[in-house]
Amino acid sequence: MINQVDKGRIFHLSCISLIVTAMTFAIRAGILGDLGREFALSSQELGWINSMAFLGFPLAMIVGGSIYNLLGAKRLISMAFVCHLLGLVLTITAGGFWGLLISTFCIGFANGSVEAGCNPLIAEMHPDNKTIMLNKFHVWFPGGIVIGALISNLMTSLGLDWQLQVGVIIIPTIIYGFLLLNCPFPECNKQQHSTLNNIKSLLSPLYLLLLLCISLTATTELGTQQWIESILGSTGASPMLILALITGVMAVGRFYAGALVHRLSPVGTLFFSAIISAIGIYSMSIATGSMVYLAAVLFAIGVTYFWPTVLGCVAEYTPQTGAIGLSVAGGVGMFAVSMWNPIIGGWIDSAKENAAQIHTLPDQIDLLAGQTVLGHLVIFPCSLIAIFAGLYFIIRKNQVLKPASGNA
């Protein structure tokens, strides 16, 4: 099925494209306050702008997954390059709400195209280690967020404009675009990849349950991180350093995911991750000062394995869904975040209004509002604890649902 190609080179190219994806998340989180002040936007309006990244993402993944068997991974990643470059330029030149809305959608579409092309490609190149290699690939989502968060924090401290921060992302974009030019990709046997059969398999109960899981895990992870400045900006800790700390822990954890996944199984790993995530978010809701960093580490440990391990479960437990199964799963996860973003923004606005009735100091108002919103967000990992516990026993009971690669 896979022709002789340089798997290492393809993997590195894929990782750089994911770094670009991650940097767009990190730097957007870092400049959110600047955008609100410059264009006089409310938190809810900023939520709608944020939601475009998470809306473009699932649309690209669903479209990309549907045409993956026809076009192949290289064309999908090339489409990501074009959309990344276009979206970044449009963001820099945006004049207000609508300009930011459109440019953010383009970037979200590019991010989804990266995942639509790379996830099934990596799973196919490593059929005996799908979950482990997807975790290693997704090291560079938190890794890229660390890079983006540190750059954003440094440039902000130097008083540099948000447009320059966005412009920095163009550099790795050009790099992965250049690498695409002369990089041969695997050729898949199209007779073994029937999109119609893949689509029929999407209706299996296990697959539908995994869609619910990824919608909740994605919101737990990204719904919290995208609002990190607004939620934790008045705790006495640096929001961008917290983001860098969280994603740094995630990058290390994903790189060494193999031993944990082998020992606990993919679903067992997810179950314990949900418990730690709930503890982490609750801890952040009551912590101030330096204790926020400790709570953030707990949160990071919890969400580390969510995204790649749920995708690994899709690839291993429902392999008949193929590339479109992975793409739809990722799309559903990001779509869920896009729908929750305006709601989270509304929670922040409402919490600030309520806090203003108790306190008059802005810092106290922002602190109380952030703690209130985190109290709402803890509901997501608490729900996942019950779901993953049930999924674990379902898979253990039904031997037919063992992973195709035997990693569990």
Q: Where are the domains of the chain?
A: 7-181+199-399
Q: Answer yes or no: is pLDDT of 398 > 80.
A: no
Rounded distance between C-alpha atoms, residue 405 and residue 374, angstroms: 38
Helix (H) or strand (E) holding 247: helix 239-255
Rounded distance between C-alpha atoms, residue 267 and residue 399, angstroms: 14
Strand spans (E) along 62-155: none
| Mean pLDDT of the region 9-15 | 91
Rounded distance between C-alpha atoms, residue 171 and residue 174, angstroms: 5
> In CATH, which superfamily holds the domain spanning 7-181+199-399?
MFS general substrate transporter like domains (1.20.1250.20)
DSSP string, 131-158: HHHHHHHTTHHHHHHHHHHHHHHHHHHT
Q: Answer yes or no: is pLDDT of 86 > 90.
A: yes
Lowest-confidence pick of 234-243, 252-261, 321-330? 234-243
- Dmax (CA) for the chain in angstroms is 67
- DSSP-derived letter for residue 401 is G
Rounded distance between C-alpha atoms, residue 145 and residue 167, angstroms: 16
- Residues above pLDDT 70, as percent of the chain: 92
| Mean pLDDT of the region 120-143 | 88
| Mean pLDDT of the region 175-197 | 78
**pLDDT at residue 165, as a whole number:** 94
Number of helices followed by number of strands (H, E) in the chain: 19, 0
Rounded distance between C-alpha atoms, residue 10 and residue 2, angstroms: 13
Rounded distance between C-alpha atoms, residue 262 and residue 272, angstroms: 14
Beta carbons within 8 Å of 271's beta carbon, 6+ residues apart: 385, 388, 389, 392
Arithmetic mean of pLDDT over the chain: 86
| Mean pLDDT of the region 232-245 | 75
Higher pLDDT among residues 141 and 172, named by residue: 172
CA distances from 94 to 32, 46, 90, 110, 166 (A): 14, 14, 6, 18, 12
What is the pLDDT confidence band of residue 110, given thresholds at 50, 70 and 90?
very high
- Residues above pLDDT 90, as percent of the chain: 39
| Mean pLDDT of the region 6-19 | 91
SS3 content of the chain, % helix, strand, coil (to 5): 85, 0, 15
Q: Answer yes or no: is pLDDT of 33 > 70.
A: yes
Length of the chain equals 408
| Mean pLDDT of the region 215-240 | 79
**pLDDT at residue 401, as a whole number:** 45
What is the pLDDT confidence band of residue 360, given thresholds at 50, 70 and 90?
low
**pLDDT at residue 34, as a whole number:** 87
**pLDDT at residue 215, as a whole number:** 95
Closest CA to 88 of 108, 63, 74: 108
Quick one: 40 exposed, middle or buried, by C-beta within 10 A (0-12, 13-18, 19+)? exposed
Q: What would the two tokens of residue 229 be?
A: 């400045």
36-68 pLDDT tens trace:
889 998 878 888 888 888 788 889 988 998 888
324-337 pLDDT tens trace:
899 899 889 988 88
What is the pLDDT confidence band of residue 404, given thresholds at 50, 70 and 90?
very low
Q: Answer yes or no: is pLDDT of 75 > 90.
A: yes
Quick one: 360 exposed, middle or buried, by C-beta within 10 A (0-12, 13-18, 19+)? exposed
| Mean pLDDT of the region 316-329 | 89
- DSSP-derived letter for residue 322 is H
- Measured between alpha carbons, how far apart are the two ends of the chain, in Å? 24
Q: What would the two tokens of residue 77 be?
A: 């990643």
**pLDDT at residue 368, as a whole number:** 80
With vertex at residue 223, the alpha carbon angle to CA 221 and CA 226, rounded to the nearest 5 degrees, is: 100
What is the pLDDT confidence band of residue 85, given thresholds at 50, 70 and 90?
very high
